[in-house]
């Protein structure tokens, strides 16, 4: 009996040490992320470092416990359809911890940063930390609000426009306005051209909206972007325009109702519902013939960038939890991190996550450069469009795998919702994988852009220009240049394929391009880190990423291989 109690005590003490380790500030313990900030914000590093360090501590010690509580089954959002005297109110009720969690996130001021041209990268550097608590019920609405901010900044003035903008960037969930995008209809899904919700003009710039929307995240939003058909004679997306629907109009509830909230696999503390519009008053956004492009070029495009940072943040947190667990969990007389299969899995997660984060930072900095210019080069815009779509695809695909394998590291304990946040991170990441374009939708969009804009050649020209500035004798650069030559050949061969063959082959072409871009981005950060900080952490990741994805030879499990994955998992 005493031996059993002693064994139990040892096991619990190991878990207690692990719990203490994962409660450390997620920014200060992540020296690789600190270097990413140093690399991409050289002039503002000291200031941003202070903000991220403060926020990193709050995410672990305040936000994560709040999110864990508001994600419990009894604390999920529910509907209050009527008030005490029977008036229809359609109020989404959230647990108090949801409000507290929102205040933690919004007080970082990330949306105000994003609202300044050139401030998106700084905004998303905070979102990466926030996302380590999962979607948290707020990170999706933040992305929606960001899309509304960007579009309103680019369109003509209307009454209350400045008021709405100020409310959207207010750094307090209790006092701000949150946004939503209600685009999807039951018959259309990703085929937005099938949307049937109608818009009828009431007066100049004011319309009434009639119809239903099928998948409406942040159902209780204060400001809603929606598409509606203003011209019944125009089919597809040509007859659609963009409208802003405030939750309240002239001091009263606007004319729409929430049919029900959906029971989702993840992102459960963020209310997603079905909406019926009964003549809701709406403000026309942009010119009727151009406003649908505002959705695609701003709202959806921006959401895909936000989504990429979110899933990478979730996977980074899952990695840290799993790695610390592996260091403290004893099995067969050894910490399980000493076993090659465990170590290899963790090394791969860290390596691929680090590469994708490096790539999306380059992409976001390009977005910032374009935002600060009066007129951007068309090839820059096309390149940005391609990079965003490719990275949204790869980051979602790999991050779900990464979190799944982090959960595997905890074995049976990994499946327990109260043991760690990994089960919730996995569920949230699966939902994010399908938001803002599934893998198939993104790949077919890239195929369409290849035919319409020769976007594959835009990518090749960009990479050739980037590689020309590198040391051509460097072993990494030699491999990058060689892979690019293979892609050029694949692009030429791709053009000779029949349409159905292209539809199946596009996945491989996209994989080749986005992996090359990730390899390049990781190499640039690794080279910088070794020179500035005298650290080989990212160089080790670079070595492993090239072995996994850039070398044509099979992996050789020699002493150097085991030393490499050892160094990555330190």
Contact between 240 and 230 under an 8 Å Cβ cutoff? The reply is: yes
Mean pLDDT across 189-200: 89
In a domain, 474, yes or no: yes
Average pLDDT, the chain: 96
Q: Could you report the per-residue pLDDT of 140-186, keeping only the tens digit for each?
A: 999 999 999 999 999 999 999 999 999 999 999 999 999 999 999 99
Q: Could you report the per-residue pLDDT of 224-252, keeping only the tens digit for each?
A: 999 999 988 888 888 999 999 999 999 99
Mean pLDDT across 35-60: 97
Domain at 269, CATH number:
2.40.110.20
In a domain, 294, yes or no: no
Look at residues 242, 273, 289 and tell me which one is the last residue of a structural domain.
Answer: 289
In a domain, 399, yes or no: no
Contact between 153 and 116 under an 8 Å Cβ cutoff? The reply is: no
Q: Which pLDDT score is estimated for 223?
A: 98
Q: Which pLDDT score is estimated for 374?
A: 67
Strands 240-246 and 223-229: antiparallel
* Residue 205 confidence (pLDDT) above 70: yes
Q: Indicate whether this model's pTM tops 0.75.
A: yes
Consecutive H or E run containing 149? helix 139-154
In a domain, 80, yes or no: no
In a domain, 495, yes or no: yes
In a domain, 67, yes or no: no
Q: Which pLDDT score is estimated for 467?
A: 98
Look at residues 289, 317, 344 and tell me which one is the last residue of a structural domain.
Answer: 289
Q: Which pLDDT score is estimated for 7?
A: 80
Counting Cβ atoms within 10 Å, is residue 339 exposed (0-12), middle (13-18) or buried (19+)?
middle
What DSSP letter does each residue of 351-404 carry, written as one string?
Answer: HHHHHHHHHHHHHHHHHHHHHHSSS--HHHHHHHHHHHHHHHHHHHHHHHHHHH
Strands 223-229 and 179-182: parallel
* Residue 376 confidence (pLDDT) above 80: no
- Which domain covers residue 547, as residue numbers? 449-568
Cα distance between residue 460 and residue 512, in whole Å:
12
Q: Which pLDDT score is estimated for 297?
A: 84
Mean pLDDT across 22-43: 97
Cα distance between residue 95 and residue 136, in whole Å:
13
Q: Which pLDDT score is estimated for 3?
A: 67
In a domain, 401, yes or no: no
- What is the count of structural domains for the chain? 2
In a domain, 299, yes or no: no
What DSSP letter does each residue of 63-99 carry, written as one string?
Answer: IHHHHHHHTSGGGS-EEEEE-TTS-EEEEEE--HHHH
Structure confidence at residue 104 as a pLDDT band (50, 70, 90):
very high
Look at residues 227, 262, 289 and tell me which one is the last residue of a structural domain.
Answer: 289
Q: How far apart are the first and last CA of the chain?
A: 37
Distances (CA, A) of 260 to 88, 216, 273, 402, 439: 14, 10, 5, 33, 28
Q: Could you report the per-residue pLDDT of 358-372, keeping only the tens digit for each?
A: 999 999 999 999 999
């Amino acid at each position: 009996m005493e031996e059993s109690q002693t064994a139990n005590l040892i096991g619990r003490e190991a878990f207690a040490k692990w719990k203490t380790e994962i409660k450390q500030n997620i920014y200060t313990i992540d020296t690789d992320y600190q270097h990413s900030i140093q690399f991409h914000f050289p002039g503002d590093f000291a200031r941003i470092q202070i903000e991220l360090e403060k926020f990193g501590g709050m995410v672990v010690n305040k936000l994560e416990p709040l999110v864990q509580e508001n994600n419990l089954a009894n604390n999920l959002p529910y509907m209050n359809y009527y008030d005490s005297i029977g008036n229809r109110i359609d109020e989404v009720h959230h647990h108090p911890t949801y409000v507290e969690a929102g205040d933690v996130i919004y007080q970082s001021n990330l949306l105000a940063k994003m609202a300044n041209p050139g401030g998106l990268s700084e905004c998303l550097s905070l979102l990466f930390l926030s996302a380590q608590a999962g979607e948290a019920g707020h990170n999706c609405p933040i992305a929606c609000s960001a899309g509304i901010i960007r579009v309103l900044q680019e369109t003509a003035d209307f009454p209350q426009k400045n008021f709405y903008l100020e409310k959207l960037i207010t750094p307090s969930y209790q006092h701000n306005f949150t946004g939503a995008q209600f685009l999807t209809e039951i018959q259309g899904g990703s085929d937005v051209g099938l949307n049937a919700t109608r818009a009828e003009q009431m007066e100049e710039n004011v319309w009434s909206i009639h119809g239903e929307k099928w998948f409406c995240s942040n159902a209780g939003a204060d400001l809603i972007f929606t598409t509606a058909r203003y011209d019944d004679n125009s089919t597809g997306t040509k007859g659609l325009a963009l409208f802003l629907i405030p939750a309240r109009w002239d001091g009263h509830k606007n004319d729409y109702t929430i049919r029900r909230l959906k029971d989702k696999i993840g992102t459960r503390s963020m209310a997603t519902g079905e909406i019926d519009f009964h003549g809701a008053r709406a403000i026309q956004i942009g010119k009727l013939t151009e406003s649908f492009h505002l959705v695609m070029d701003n709202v959806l495009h921006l959401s895909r960038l936000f989504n990429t940072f979110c899933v990478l943040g979730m996977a980074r947190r899952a990695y840290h939890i799993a790695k610390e667990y592996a260091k403290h969990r004893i099995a067969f007389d050894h910490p399980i991190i000493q076993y090659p299969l465990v170590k290899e899995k963790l090394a791969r997660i860290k390596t691929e996550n680090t590469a994708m984060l490096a790539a999306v930072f380059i992409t976001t900095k390009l977005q910032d450069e374009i935002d600060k210019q009066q007129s951007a080069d068309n090839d820059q815009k096309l390149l940005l469009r391609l990079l965003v779509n490719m990275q949204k695809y790869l980051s979602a695909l790999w991050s779900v795998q990464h979190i799944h394998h982090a959960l595997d590291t905890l074995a049976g304990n990994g499946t327990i919702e109260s043991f760690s946040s990994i089960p919730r991170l996995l569920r949230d990441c699966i939902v994010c994988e399908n938001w803002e374009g599934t893998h198939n939708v993104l790949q077919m969009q890239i195929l369409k852009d290849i035919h319409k804009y020769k976007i594959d050649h835009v990518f090749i020209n960009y990479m050739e220009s980037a590689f020309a500035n590198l040391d051509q004798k460097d072993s990494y650069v030699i491999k990058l240049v060689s892979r690019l030559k293979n892609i050029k050949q694949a692009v030429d061969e791709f053009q000779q394929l029949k349409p159905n063959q292209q539809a199946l082959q596009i996945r491989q072409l996209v994989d080749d391009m986005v992996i090359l871009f990730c390899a390049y981005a990781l190499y640039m950060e690794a080279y910088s880190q070794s020179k500035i900080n005298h650290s080989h952490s990212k160089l080790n990741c670079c070595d492993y990423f090239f072995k996994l994805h850039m070398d044509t030879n099979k992996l050789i499990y020699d002493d150097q291989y085991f030393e490499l994955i050892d160094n990555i998992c330190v």
